[in-house]
Amino acid sequence: MRRLHLQSKVDNWLTYGLVIFAYIVIRILIASGNISSALQGQLVPITAYIVMAVSLNLTVGVLGELSLGHAGFMSVGAFSGVITATLLTNAIPMSWLRLALAMLIGAIIAGIFGFLIGIPVMRLQGDYLAIVTLAFGEIIKNVINVIYIGYDTNGIRVSMKNTSALRLDEGGKVILNGPMGAVGITKLSSFTAGFILILITLFIVLNLINSRAGRAIKAVRDDKIAAESVGISTWRYRMMAFVTSATLAGAAGALYALNYSTVVARKFDFNTSILILVFVVLGRMGNIRGSIIAATVLTVLPEVLRAFNEVRMLVYAIILILVMLIRNNTPLQRLLQIIGIRRRNNNLSTVEEGDDA
Amino acid sequence: MTFLSYLISGISLGSIYAIIALGYTMVYGIAKMLNFAHGDVIMVGGYMSFMATTHFGWSPFSSVLFAMGVCTVLGILIEQLAYKPLRSAPSLAVLITAIGVSYFLQNAALLIWTPNPKSFSSVVPFDSLRLFDGQLIISGTTIVTIVACAIIIVTLNTIVNKTKIGKAMRAVSEDKDVAQLMGISVNKTISVTFAIGSALAAVAGVLLCSAYPILMPTTGAMPGIKAFTAAVFGGIGSIPGAFLGGILLGIIEILGKAYISTQLSDAIVFAVLIIILLVKPTGLLGKKVLVKV
């Protein structure tokens, strides 16, 4: 038990170390001008995606429930974060504090949504649970598409018709413009802010996993009935993992949205949820470091594949299929072992612990 | 009378969802996997029929047969190349592979047919039906869609319940290992299921494009998601469930669009789904599986 404890500790420090190391390397690259502008523009989205992947891993890998609507929480966080940041423009001049508050509010509101959607979700299992999270993501997208929010000297105005129905005074400003999304956002996000958010996320998730509650969550994943019979409240621990996951996604959403001047609800659709799920599965479920690496590699990959120009997304799809085939096909794995590409014992143990979830 | 016409177009849209959902539900019932590439097979079916009529100048009916043939081959190919090697892999790995296949089909279509939308001309040669002195107009496409759905559901039910291959399908869906011991070729049965599902997707693609005549590489994505929802709605794995779920989803969508809000119709559909699942956690006709300890 003590050895296990030590092992997980070393493992966690490795994860922190990797993130800090990557941050320093990229800072040096930026300072020496050795990084392409396209890649530099991807830095904040990459950090947001890493937080998304780590938080989804909590639901999919640690709790063992498939969520197809994680981008929905990102959306909630993104738009509440943008609204917070815009409303506080005059009150708080420091942009870092505004960003921090926007992420905090985004996280809290996404957490509340996580709890509300968790009530029906926790009654279901398996594919039925997955479809409800999918439905939730689509509902969020559609509802944000018909909401108009603006503010003027008299305060905030909300409408579901159009911008003129807001009846703003002169000098009033539209924040959320229905299908056009949030417009006129002041860019607040920075790579450093993203880096700090990743560290906070890791701190929360890794500590949760290695705590009493985390062991309870894993017990629920491995056998719900057995867990319940030894007195673990399945509802409570499933909800805990789900809400934590939603909260972190909300913060990531705020970070992501405040990196652009406009953001539309369509950006956070089913495809985005799936994209993040791909990060989690490719990085191995339950493996936090894997999520970080997969999110980074798969976000950079389309940029690297730009050399292929038109066929790049096709190549991306083929790589995705091939990786899944190579990783999960037993005869193919045996072949790789014989050639010596994969170590025998290592391979078997990770397959069993990682993929049964 | 307007209500009746909305209802009919709802049933028609629902019939398309039902045909797609049948493909989802059969594959799920037998291979226990969510075939996310199913929606994109619909799109391929649409393009095949489009090519056959505009480029080769074939008749609408033979273009449908052509699309069905191509999609059947495509379905079997996808199954053999991408899913068969993963038969013993965890279900999420198969799900991600299916997403990979879906990306592949969409991007291949993007390269072959460019992102420009093609305007699809309906394959249905009949004129609209006018009832009650022209107060109620039902288009030929609507009638054909509903009739096609009815024929498909009856045929499929017969195949599954009356034929030998249907018996094999039911056995494989019940227990793969036992079915194998009884001398049923599990791989062959799964291939046949994929073939049937993909042929149905082709029919759905042609009908969908006849009703909503814009054809793009992403045409199949949203109907695919909705049909998947419909399959879960009715209880995934159940053929009558997929039919019922599809029809209900179509009706809710059209009525929601007509009476509540055009933009919120999808939100309404999904909200109804959540409510139904709260009341019946395994869908309308889904079997409740008791877990033994």
Share of chain A above pLDDT 70, in %: 92
Say if B238 falls within a structural domain: no
Instruction: Please indicate whether, in this complex, the C-beta atoms of B263 and A332 are within 8 angstroms of each other.
Output: no
For position A85, which CATH number holds? 1.10.3470
Count other Cβ atoms within 10 Å, centred on residue A263: 23
pLDDT of A344 reads: 46
Say if B237 falls within a structural domain: no
pLDDT of A300 reads: 85
Average pLDDT value for residue range A301-321: 76
Say if A222 falls within a structural domain: yes
Instruction: Please indicate whether, in this complex, the C-beta atoms of A139 and B267 are within 8 angstroms of each other.
Output: yes
Average pLDDT value for residue range A224-250: 92
pLDDT of A342 reads: 57
Reported confidence tier of residue A261, pLDDT bands at 50, 70, 90 = confident
Amino acid identity, position A299: T
Count other Cβ atoms within 10 Å, centred on residue B121: 13
B-proximal residues of A, 122-181, CB under 8 Å = 123-125, 127-128, 131-132, 134-136, 138-139, 142-143, 145-146, 179
- Residue A133 makes CB contacts below 8 A (sequence gap 6+) with A66, A67, A68, A69, A70, A72, A117, A121
Least confident of A23-27, A127-131, A250-254: A127-131
- Measured between beta carbons, which residues in chain B are less than 8 angstroms from residue A146? 261, 263-264
Say if B239 falls within a structural domain: no
Q: What is the Cα gyration radius of chain B? A: 19
Instruction: Please indicate whether, in this complex, the C-beta atoms of A120 and B104 are within 8 angstroms of each other.
Output: no
pLDDT of B75 reads: 93
Instruction: Please indicate whether, in this complex, the C-beta atoms of A324 and B270 are within 8 angstroms of each other.
Output: no
Q: Is the pLDDT of residue A281 over 50?
A: yes
Reported confidence tier of residue A53, pLDDT bands at 50, 70, 90 = very high
Residues of chain B with pLDDT under 50: none
Q: Is the pLDDT of residue A125 over 90?
A: no
Instruction: Please indicate whether, in this complex, the C-beta atoms of B92 and A328 are within 8 angstroms of each other.
Output: no
Reported confidence tier of residue A351, pLDDT bands at 50, 70, 90 = very low
Say if B272 falls within a structural domain: no
Say if B245 falls within a structural domain: no
Reported confidence tier of residue A301, pLDDT bands at 50, 70, 90 = confident
pLDDT of A86 reads: 87
Reported confidence tier of residue A160, pLDDT bands at 50, 70, 90 = confident
Top pLDDT among A183 and B123 is at A183
B108 touches A at CB < 8 Å: yes
- Measured between beta carbons, which residues in chain B are less than 8 angstroms from residue A128? 232, 277, 281-283
pLDDT of A183 reads: 82
Q: Structural domain of residue A314, as residue ranges? A: 19-145+181-355
Say if A162 falls within a structural domain: no
Sheet holding A173-177, edge to edge: A155-159, A148-152, A173-177
Reported confidence tier of residue A188, pLDDT bands at 50, 70, 90 = confident
Count the domains in chain B.
1
pLDDT of B163 reads: 92
**pTM, rounded to two decimals:** 0.84
Reported confidence tier of residue A298, pLDDT bands at 50, 70, 90 = confident
- Cβ distance A122 to A247 under 8 Å? no
pLDDT of A178 reads: 78
pLDDT of A355 reads: 40
Among the partner residues B28, B270, B291, nearest to A138 by beta-carbon distance:
B270
Q: What is the DSSP letter of A263?
A: B
pLDDT of B292 reads: 63
Top pLDDT among A249 and B82 is at A249
Count the domains in chain A.
1
Q: How far is CA A35 from CA A30, A38, A304, A306, in A?
A: 6, 8, 12, 15
Cα–Cα dist B247/B149, whole Å: 10
Say if B225 falls within a structural domain: no
Say if A206 falls within a structural domain: yes
Q: Structural domain of residue B64, as residue ranges? A: 2-220
Count other Cβ atoms within 10 Å, centred on residue B5: 17
- Picking from B178, B177, B160, the residue whose alpha carbon sits closest to that of residue B169 is B160
